[in-house]
C-alpha cells in the first residue's frame, strides 16, 4: 500500500503542481485545514458523518469525536481509522461507502494533515473578528499596484499563484461599471463629460462619492435587499391577494441605504423596530421585513380554525420568518433543522423551534401607524392616558373625582351637548321577514328578535306607531342577545350584520297607501371599516352599514329626517330594513325610537349611551358618588377619545405584528402561541414546548436570549435583535461584508452567501472577508464606507478583458486578476432603456405602480394582464423598483431576464442567456415603444440621420460610433427608420453587458 511519508507526499504534490505544501518561500509548510482538509471532509464524509445521527457515532465536524473514536490519531496517519478506511482495498470496508474512492491527492492531504498534528480549528465563520494586518507583498510592482488595504489581500493571493492583475480600465468603462453597480443606471452624457474632463488626482474618488450620494443608490441597493428577503406585494398562494400597504417597507429600504443607516441599526429595526423605537415610524415600517414573504390566506384566514391545516399553516408561516431572518442576517441555514437536528451544523431542532417561539406572537398583517413621529407621540400619550384612566377606574372609581376632573365634568354639563335627547320607543304593530325568519315582537321592551330560518338575505318590514307629534329623527338600536351568535346583534356567525338600505314610510289611512320620508346624513356610534352608516341611505344596494368587529354590544344608528314631520295625531310608520349583502348578515335584535330634538343636538349626543343619559337626567347634587364617577369616567374617556379622533388618520403598513384588526378567524395572538418541538417536523408528533432562544453555534455568544418578559412577544423579538447585533456575533458582519463585495465585484467571496455553515463554500479570500467584516464593525456599520473603499481599490479598477495567461491558471477568475464583466439584470436593463430614451421618471417612493391591467377575478385573486397594458402609460416610466410585484403572475419580461421568483429568497441572481430572453428584448412592447420614443424625441428631431445615430451611440454606449458603425446604422435607419435602428442598438451585447 502506498504510504507516503510527509516528505514523499510533498515531493509528489510538487510534481503535481499543487500548492498545499509550499509557501511562497518554497519551503515545507503545514497544510491549511480550512483550505485543504475541510473541503474533502465536507464533500466526501459529512453526508453520513455529520452531527445529526452520525454513522458509527463518528461526527467529522468535531475534532473531539474524530479523536475519541481514533478516526484521527494526531501524528500517526497509519493508526488513524480514517486513513485506513479511505485506503482500504476491500470495497465493503473502503470509505466513502458506495461512492468513488478519494483521489491519491486527497488521501495525501489527509495523511499529511494527520502527520502534522491534525490541527483542526473551529469553523471559520464562527471565529471572533479581530484586526488583521494586510499581508506583505514580495513583488515591488504589486506593492505599487495596491491602492487600498483590500488590494494587498487580493494581490497576495495572486502572487501565491503567479497571477498578475489587469491594467486599469479606461474612464468610460469605469464610470459605466460603477454607475450600474451603485445606481442600476448608466451614466448620463453630462456625467461622463464631467468625469472625463476632471484631471485632478482624486477624480475617480470624487466620481464614486457622487454616485454614492445619488438618490438612485438607495433604489439600487433596496432592490438587492428585496431579492434577499423575497419581498412582493401579494400573498402568493391560491388566494393571491394584493397587499396595498407593503410598499412603505420598500421606501424604508431606499431611505435607509441612502442615509447609510448603520447596519446593526438596520438589522435591529427590521427584527424589532416597533418594540425598540415605538414612536419612530421608520422603525415600525422596518418590520415589513418580517412580512416580506408569502402568506397562505386560505389556511390562515379562511379554513376552519379547528382544522389541522390552520395550525400547519401557522408553523409554516413562522418557518418563513425564521428562515428569512437567519438566512439574511446570519447566513445560516437554520431551516434545515425543522424536521431533525441540522445534519451538518450544530443547530438542534430545539434551537430551531426556539426561534419559532421568538416569532410566535406575530402574524403578517396591516398594522396602523402614524407616518408623522409627532402625531405618533401624541397618540401614544393619549392612549397611555386612556389606559391609566381605565386602570384607575377599575381599581377605585371615586378616586377619579379630582378637582380637575370635576371641573371638566361641570364645564361639559353646561354645554348643549349634555342635553339628553329624549328617545321615545315606538309601539310595535307587526314585523315581517321576507326571507322566512321568525320575527318575535316584545311589546314590553319594544324589541324585535329574529330566530328560526336564517336566510342568506332578508328584508324586514316593521309597522309601528308613535304618539310623538313632531318627529325629527328615527333611531335604530341593535341589541345584543344571548340567543344570537357571538351575542349578536347580528345573525351572522361572527355576530355581524349588514344593513344595505333603511326606508321609512308614513302609513296613511289605508295600509297600502304610503308616503316615503327621506333621511339626511345618518349617525352611528360605530362603523365597521368600509361599512359606514352612510351606506345604508346611499341608494346603492351593494353597500351597507356594519358593526364588525364590535360584536356583542349595543349599537345605534340615528337617521335624521330631511324635514321635521308634524302631525296632530299618533303616526303610523313602516320601516323597511333591507339586508341583502348575503351570507346571513342579518339583524338579530332591534328597537325603533323617535325624537323631536333638533339636528345639531342629535349629532352631538348620538354617542351618549343610555346609562349615561339616565344619570344625566338626575340633578347633579342628587347623584351618588358612583354615579358621579361613572359620568366622570365617561367624559374623561370621551375627551381623550375625541382628541385621538382629531389626530390625522393612521396609515397602514404590512408588517409582522400583533397590532391588527381581526379579519374573520384570523386574529392577533394575545400572547405568543405555544410552540412545540415537532418530531420529524410533524404536527402529529409534538414534543416539548419550545422556549424562545437563539443558536449555540458561535462559541463566544451564548444561545440564551435575555427576554425581559417571557410571555411578551415584543420582548422576545427585542432579545433576538440584541443577540443578532451583539458585539460578539461575527457572522452578522461576515455575512454583510460578503454581500457588499458580491454586488460591487460581481461575485461573493463566499459563493454561498446565505450559508456560511459546514456545507457552505469556503471564502476565496478568508482574510480579506474578515478584514472587511471587522472594518465594517469598526466603522459604525457604514456600508457606503466599505463600498467607497472597494470601488477605489485597484482590484475594482482593472479591465475585465480576458487574458490567456490569467485564464490558464484561474479560468473562473476566482483570484480577481481581472474585473468581472456582467450582464445587466432585469431592472437595470429596463431602467437603462428608460434613461437613454429620456423618459425615466426619477420620482422616489410612494405606492407601487401596476404595470398590468388588473380586473376582479372570480375569487380573491385578481386577473392580471400584462399583454394589453399600454406601454405608453406614464407608470411605465417609473424605475423598476416601483413596479407592483405580483407574486403568482410575475412580469414575463422581467422573468426572462432572471428577475427571481419573489416567493423564494434570492441571495444571488441567475444570469442566463436564452432564446426566450432574446425574443423578449426584441419584441417586448415596452422595448419597441421606447425605440419609437427615442426616434421621436426632440433631440433626435434633426434633418440628418447621422447626428441622430451619433446621439444614440452617446446615450447608449457613452461613445461615438466608429465610421463603419455610423455608416451601417445610418444606412439601416435610412431604409427602415430610426425606431428600427434604435431597437437594434437596444439589443446589442454592448448595451446588455457591462465591462
Partner 1 sequence: MTLQCERLDSRRSFLQRAAQGFGMLAVFDLLLRDAVADTVTSQRADLHGGLHHPAKVKRVIQLFMNGGVSQMDTFDYKPELERRHGESIDFGLKAAVTSPLGTIMKSPFAFRQYGESGRWVSDVFPQLAQHVDELAFLMAMRSKSNVHGPASYLQNTGNVNPGFPSLGSWLSYGLGSLTDNLPTFVVLPDHRGLPYNNTGNFSAGFLPAAHYATVIRPNNAIPVPFLRPPANATHITGESECEGQRLLRELNANHLMNHPDDSRLEARIQSFELAARMQTSAPEALDLSHESPATLSQYGIDNPNTEPFGKNCLIARRLIERGVRFVQVWSGMGGPKNNWDNHSDIPQELPFIASMVDQPIAALLRDTRERGLLDDTLIVWTTEFGRMPFTQGATGRDHNGGTFVSWLAGAGVRGGTAFGQSDEFAYQTAIDETTGYDLHATILHLMGIDHTQLTFSHNGLDRRLTDVHGKVIQQILA
Indicate which single residue of 202, 600, 916, 974 sits in contact with partner 1 (rule: CB under 8 A): 916
* Residues 347/336, Cβ–Cβ less than 8 Å: yes
Q: Rule CB under 8 A: say whether 967 interacts with partner 1.
A: no
Q: Which pairing describes strands 447-451 and 438-442: parallel, antiparallel, or unpaired?
A: antiparallel
Q: Rule CB under 8 A: say whether 976 interacts with partner 1.
A: yes
Q: Rule CB under 8 A: say whether 990 interacts with partner 1.
A: yes
Convert residues 636-665 into a mask of x (bound to partner 1 by CB under 8 A) and - (unbound): ------------------------------
Q: Rule CB under 8 A: say whether 839 interacts with partner 1.
A: no
Only segment of 145-153, 604-612, 927-935, 936-944 that touches partner 1 (CB under 8 A)? 927-935
* Residues 783/776, Cβ–Cβ less than 8 Å: yes
* Residues 946/890, Cβ–Cβ less than 8 Å: no
HEC states along 834-895? Answer: HHHHCCCECCCCCCCECCCEEECCCCCCCEEECCCCCCCCHHHHECHHHECCCCCCCCHHHH
Q: Which is nearer to partner 1, 634 or 869 (CB)?
A: 869
What's the min distance (Å) between Cβ of 533 and partner 1?
A: 31
What's the min distance (Å) between Cβ of 651 and partner 1?
A: 28
- Report the C-alpha gap between 871 and 925 in whole angstroms: 6
Q: Which is nearer to partner 1, 629 or 826 (CB)?
A: 826
User: Which one, of 324, 330, 364, lies nearest residue 345 by Cα?
Assistant: 330
Q: Which is nearer to partner 1, 155 or 897 (CB)?
A: 897
- Report the C-alpha gap between 751 and 823 in whole angstroms: 18
Helix (H) or strand (E) holding 769: helix 766-778
Only segment of 113-121, 176-184, 534-542, 918-926 that touches partner 1 (CB under 8 A)? 918-926
Q: Rule CB under 8 A: say whether 192 interacts with partner 1.
A: no
* Residues 894/227, Cβ–Cβ less than 8 Å: no
Indicate which single residue of 277, 302, 413, 873 sits in contact with partner 1 (rule: CB under 8 A): 302
Q: Which is nearer to partner 1, 67 or 303 (CB)?
A: 303
What's the min distance (Å) between Cβ of 891 and partner 1?
A: 11
Q: In which region does residue 898 sit, left (phi positive, over 0), alpha (psi from -120 to 50) or beta (all else)?
A: left
The DSSP string of 522-588 is: -EES--BTTB-GGGGSSS-TT--B--TT-TTS-EEEEEEEEEEEE-SS-EEEEEEEEE-SSTT--B-
Cα-based distances in Å from 467 to 14, 280, 470, 503, 569: 113, 57, 9, 20, 7
Binders of partner 1 in range 343-362 (CB under 8 A): none
Only segment of 93-101, 536-544, 686-694, 971-979 that touches partner 1 (CB under 8 A)? 971-979
Binders of partner 1 in range 840-869 (CB under 8 A): 857-859, 861, 863-864, 867
* Residues 392/399, Cβ–Cβ less than 8 Å: yes
Only segment of 66-74, 172-180, 309-317, 875-883 that touches partner 1 (CB under 8 A)? 309-317
- Report the C-alpha gap between 837 and 835 in whole angstroms: 5
Residue 990 has a CB neighbour count (10 Å cut-off) of 12
Indicate which single residue of 309, 603, 663, 785 sits in contact with partner 1 (rule: CB under 8 A): 309
Indicate which single residue of 131, 415, 915, 944 sits in contact with partner 1 (rule: CB under 8 A): 915
What's the min distance (Å) between Cβ of 315 and partner 1?
A: 11
Q: Rule CB under 8 A: say whether 887 interacts with partner 1.
A: yes
Q: Which is nearer to partner 1, 36 or 319 (CB)?
A: 319
Indicate which single residue of 170, 807, 841, 843 sits in contact with partner 1 (rule: CB under 8 A): 807
Q: Rule CB under 8 A: say whether 333 interacts with partner 1.
A: yes
SS3 307: coil
Q: Rule CB under 8 A: say whether 968 interacts with partner 1.
A: yes
* Residues 743/908, Cβ–Cβ less than 8 Å: no
What's the min distance (Å) between Cβ of 764 and partner 1?
A: 17
- Report the C-alpha gap between 266 and 252 in whole angstroms: 10
Q: Which is nearer to partner 1, 594 or 905 (CB)?
A: 905
What's the min distance (Å) between Cβ of 712 and partner 1?
A: 29
What's the min distance (Å) between Cβ of 622 and partner 1?
A: 55
Q: Which is nearer to partner 1, 73 or 928 (CB)?
A: 928
Q: Which is nearer to partner 1, 787 or 932 (CB)?
A: 932
SS3 589: strand
- Report the C-alpha gap between 682 and 215 in whole angstroms: 48
Q: Which is nearer to partner 1, 149 or 821 (CB)?
A: 821
Q: Rule CB under 8 A: say whether 278 interacts with partner 1.
A: no
Q: Rule CB under 8 A: say whether 96 interacts with partner 1.
A: no
Indicate which single residue of 888, 937, 959, 966 sits in contact with partner 1 (rule: CB under 8 A): 888
- Report the C-alpha gap between 571 and 567 in whole angstroms: 7
The DSSP string of 481-537 is: -TTSGGG-SBSSTTS---B-EEEEEEE-SSTT-EEEEPB-S-EES--BTTB-GGGGS
Only segment of 85-93, 310-318, 609-617, 736-744 that touches partner 1 (CB under 8 A)? 310-318
Indicate which single residue of 332, 536, 876, 948 sits in contact with partner 1 (rule: CB under 8 A): 332
- Report the C-alpha gap between 399 and 383 in whole angstroms: 20
Indicate which single residue of 917, 930, 952, 956 sits in contact with partner 1 (rule: CB under 8 A): 917
User: Which one, of 797, 823, 876, lies nearest residue 991 by Cα?
Assistant: 823
* Residues 653/284, Cβ–Cβ less than 8 Å: yes
Convert residues 595-624 into a mask of x (bound to partner 1 by CB under 8 A) and - (unbound): ------------------------------
Only segment of 552-560, 612-620, 797-805, 876-884 that touches partner 1 (CB under 8 A)? 797-805
Provide Rg for the chain, Cα atoms.
36
User: Which one, of 58, 31, 63, lies nearest residue 45 by Cα?
Assistant: 58
Q: Rule CB under 8 A: say whether 975 interacts with partner 1.
A: yes
Q: Rule CB under 8 A: say whether 506 interacts with partner 1.
A: no
- Report the C-alpha gap between 345 and 339 in whole angstroms: 14
Binders of partner 1 in range 212-241 (CB under 8 A): 230, 236-240
* Residues 66/81, Cβ–Cβ less than 8 Å: no
Nine-digit cell at 609? Answer: 349611551
Indicate which single residue of 84, 895, 946, 954 sits in contact with partner 1 (rule: CB under 8 A): 895
Q: Rule CB under 8 A: say whether 42 interacts with partner 1.
A: no
Q: Which is nearer to partner 1, 296 or 477 (CB)?
A: 296
The DSSP string of 931-965 is: HHHHHHSGGG--S-HHHHHHHHHHHHHSSPPPHHH
Q: Which is nearer to partner 1, 224 or 367 (CB)?
A: 224
What's the min distance (Å) between Cβ of 884 and partner 1?
A: 15
Phi, psi of 463 (to 5 degrees): -100, 135
Only segment of 56-64, 424-432, 599-607, 891-899 that touches partner 1 (CB under 8 A)? 891-899
Q: Rule CB under 8 A: say whether 892 interacts with partner 1.
A: yes
User: Which one, of 228, 260, 356, lies nearest residue 713 by Cα?
Assistant: 356
Q: Rule CB under 8 A: say whether 907 interacts with partner 1.
A: yes
Nine-digit cell at 793? Answer: 481599490
Phi, psi of 579 (to 5 degrees): -125, 80
Q: Rule CB under 8 A: say whether 897 interacts with partner 1.
A: yes
Phi, psi of 832 (to 5 degrees): -65, -40
Q: Rule CB under 8 A: say whether 941 interacts with partner 1.
A: no
What's the min distance (Å) between Cβ of 826 and partner 1?
A: 9
State the number of binding residues for partner 1 (CB under 8 A). Answer: 107
What's the min distance (Å) between Cβ of 220 and partner 1?
A: 21
- Report the C-alpha gap between 437 and 911 in whole angstroms: 64
Q: Which is nearer to partner 1, 317 or 713 (CB)?
A: 317
Amino acid at each position: 500500500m502506498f504510504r507516503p511519508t510527509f516528505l514523499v507526499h510533498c515531493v509528489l504534490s510538487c510534481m503535481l503542481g499543487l500548492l498545499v505544501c509550499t509557501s511562497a518561500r518554497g519551503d515545507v509548510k503545514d497544510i491549511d485545514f480550512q483550505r485543504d482538509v475541510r473541503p474533502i471532509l465536507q464533500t466526501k464524509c459529512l453526508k453520513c458523518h455529520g452531527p445529526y445521527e452520525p454513522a458509527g457515532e463518528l461526527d467529522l465536524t468535531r475534532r473531539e469525536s474524530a479523536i475519541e473514536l481514533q478516526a484521527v490519531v494526531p501524528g500517526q496517519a497509519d493508526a488513524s481509522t480514517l486513513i485506513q478506511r479511505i485506503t482500504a482495498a476491500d470495497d465493503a470496508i473502503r470509505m466513502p461507502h458506495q461512492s468513488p474512492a478519494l483521489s491519491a491527492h486527497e488521501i495525501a492531504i489527509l495523511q499529511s494533515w494527520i502527520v502534522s498534528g491534525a490541527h483542526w480549528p473551529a469553523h471559520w465563520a464562527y471565529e471572533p473578528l479581530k484586526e488583521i494586518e494586510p499581508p506583505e507583498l514580495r513583488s515591488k510592482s504589486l506593492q505599487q499596484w495596491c491602492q487600498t488595504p483590500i488590494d494587498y489581500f487580493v494581490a497576495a493571493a495572486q502572487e501565491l499563484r503567479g497571477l498578475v492583475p489587469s491594467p486599469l480600465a479606461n474612464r468610460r468603462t469605469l464610470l459605466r461599471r460603477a454607475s450600474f453597480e451603485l445606481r442600476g443606471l448608466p451614466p448620463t452624457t453630462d456625467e461622463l463629460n464631467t468625469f472625463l474632463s476632471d484631471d485632478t488626482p482624486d477624480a475617480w474618488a470624487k466620481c464614486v462619492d457622487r454616485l454614492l450620494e445619488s438618490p438612485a443608490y438607495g433604489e439600487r441597493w433596496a432592490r438587492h435587499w428585496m431579492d434577499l428577503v423575497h419581498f412582493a406585494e401579494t400573498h402568493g398562494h391560491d388566494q393571491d391577494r394584493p397587499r396595498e400597504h407593503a410598499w412603505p417597507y420598500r421606501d424604508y429600504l431606499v431611505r435607509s441605504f441612502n442615509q447609510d443607516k448603520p447596519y446593526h441599526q438596520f438589522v435591529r429595526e427590521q427584527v424589532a423596530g416597533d418594540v425598540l423605537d415605538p414612536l419612530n415610524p421608520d422603525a415600525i415600517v422596518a418590520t415589513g421585513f418580517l412580512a416580506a414573504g408569502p402568506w397562505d390566506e386560505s389556511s390562515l384566514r379562511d379554513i376552519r380554525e379547528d382544522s389541522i391545516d390552520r395550525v400547519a399553516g401557522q408553523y409554516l408561516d413562522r418557518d418563513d420568518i425564521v428562515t428569512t431572518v437567519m438566512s439574511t442576517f446570519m447566513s445560516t441555514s437554520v431551516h434545515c433543522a425543522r424536521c431533525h437536528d441540522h445534519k451538518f451544523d450544530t443547530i438542534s431542532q430545539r434551537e430551531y423551534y426556539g426561534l419559532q417561539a421568538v416569532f410566535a406572537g406575530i402574524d403578517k398583517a396591516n398594522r396602523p401607524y402614524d407616518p408623522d413621529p409627532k402625531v405618533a407621540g401624541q397618540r401614544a400619550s393619549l392612549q397611555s392616558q386612556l389606559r391609566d384612566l381605565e386602570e384607575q377606574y377599575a381599581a377605585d372609581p371615586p378616586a377619579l373625582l379630582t378637582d380637575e376632573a370635576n371641573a371638566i365634568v361641570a364645564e361639559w354639563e353646561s354645554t348643549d351637548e349634555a342635553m339628553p335627547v329624549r328617545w321615545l320607543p315606538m309601539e310595535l304593530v307587526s314585523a315581517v321577514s321576507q326571507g322566512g325568519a321568525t320575527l318575535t315582537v316584545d311589546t314590553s321592551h319594544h324589541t324585535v328578535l329574529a330566530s328560526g330560518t336564517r336566510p342568506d338575505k332578508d328584508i324586514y318590514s316593521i309597522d309601528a306607531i308613535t304618539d310623538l307629534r313632531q318627529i325629527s329623527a328615527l333611531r335604530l338600536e341593535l341589541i345584543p342577545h344571548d340567543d344570537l351568535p357571538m351575542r349578536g346583534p347580528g345573525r351572522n356567525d361572527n355576530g355581524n350584520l349588514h344593513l344595505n338600505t333603511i326606508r321609512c314610510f308614513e302609513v296613511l289611512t289605508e295600509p297600502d297607501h304610503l308616503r316615503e320620508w327621506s333621511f339626511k346624513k345618518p349617525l352611528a356610534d360605530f362603523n365597521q371599516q368600509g361599512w359606514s352608516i352612510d351606506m345604508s341611505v346611499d341608494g346603492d344596494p351593494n353597500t351597507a352599514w356594519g358593526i364588525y368587529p364590535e360584536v356583542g354590544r349595543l349599537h345605534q344608528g340615528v337617521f335624521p329626517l330631511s324635514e321635521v314631520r308634524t302631525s296632530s295625531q299618533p303616526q303610523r310608520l313602516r320601516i323597511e330594513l333591507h339586508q341583502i349583502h348575503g351570507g346571513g348578515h342579518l339583524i338579530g335584535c332591534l328597537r325603533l325610537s323617535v325624537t323631536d330634538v333638533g339636528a345639531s343636538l342629535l349629532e352631538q349626543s348620538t354617542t351618549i349611551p343610555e346609562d349615561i343619559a339616565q344619570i344625566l337626567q338626575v340633578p347633579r347634587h342628587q347623584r351618588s358618588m358612583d354615579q358621579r364617577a361613572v359620568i366622570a369616567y365617561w367624559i374623561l374617556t370621551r375627551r381623550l377619545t375625541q382628541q385621538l379622533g382629531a389626530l390625522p388618520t393612521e396609515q397602514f403598513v404590512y408588517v409582522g405584528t400583533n397590532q391588527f384588526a381581526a379579519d374573520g378567524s384570523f386574529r392577533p395572538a394575545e400572547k405568543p402561541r405555544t410552540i412545540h418541538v415537532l418530531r420529524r417536523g410533524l404536527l402529529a408528533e409534538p414534543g416539548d414546548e419550545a422556549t424562545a432562544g437563539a443558536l449555540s453555534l458561535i462559541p463566544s455568544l451564548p444561545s440564551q436570549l435575555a427576554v425581559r418578559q417571557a410571555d411578551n412577544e415584543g420582548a422576545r423579538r427585542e432579545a433576538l435583535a440584541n443577540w443578532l447585533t451583539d458585539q460578539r456575533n461575527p457572522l452578522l458582519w461576515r455575512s454583510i461584508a460578503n454581500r457588499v463585495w458580491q454586488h460591487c465585484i460581481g461575485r461573493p467571496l463566499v459563493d454561498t452567501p446565505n450559508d456560511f455553515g459546514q456545507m457552505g463554500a469556503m471564502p476565496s479570500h478568508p482574510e480579506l472577508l474578515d478584514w472587511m467584516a471587522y472594518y465594517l464593525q469598526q466603522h459604525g456599520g457604514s456600508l457606503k464606507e466599505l463600498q467607497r473603499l472597494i470601488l477605489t481599490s485597484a482590484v475594482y479598477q482593472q479591465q475585465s478583458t480576458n487574458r490567456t495567461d490569467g485564464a490558464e491558471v484561474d479560468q473562473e477568475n476566482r483570484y480577481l486578476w481581472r474585473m468581472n464583466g456582467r450582464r445587466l439584470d432585469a431592472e437595470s436593463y429596463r431602467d437603462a432603456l428608460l434613461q437613454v430614451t429620456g423618459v425615466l421618471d426619477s420620482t422616489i417612493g410612494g405606492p407601487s405602480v401596476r404595470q398590468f391591467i388588473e380586473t376582479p377575478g372570480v375569487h380573491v385573486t385578481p386577473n392580471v394582464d400584462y399583454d394589453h397594458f399600454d406601454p405608453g402609460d406614464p407608470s411605465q416610466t417609473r424605475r423598476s423598483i416601483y413596479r407592483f410585484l405580483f407574486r403568482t403572475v410575475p412580469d414575463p419580461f422581467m422573468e426572462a431576464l432572471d428577475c427571481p421568483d419573489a416567493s423564494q429568497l434570492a441571495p444571488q441572481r441567475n444570469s442566463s442567456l436564452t432564446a426566450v430572453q432574446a425574443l423578449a428584448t426584441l419584441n417586448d412592447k415596452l422595448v419597441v415603444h421606447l425605440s419609437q420614443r427615442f426616434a421621436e424625441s426632440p433631440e433626435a428631431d434633426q434633418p440628418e440621420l447621422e447626428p441622430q445615430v451619433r446621439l444614440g451611440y452617446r446615450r447608449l454606449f457613452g461613445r461615438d460610433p466608429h465610421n463603419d458603425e455610423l455608416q451601417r446604422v445610418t444606412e439601416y435607419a435610412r431604409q427602415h427608420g430610426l425606431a428600427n435602428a434604435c431597437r437594434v442598438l437596444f439589443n446589442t451585447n454592448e448595451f446588455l453587458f457591462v465591462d
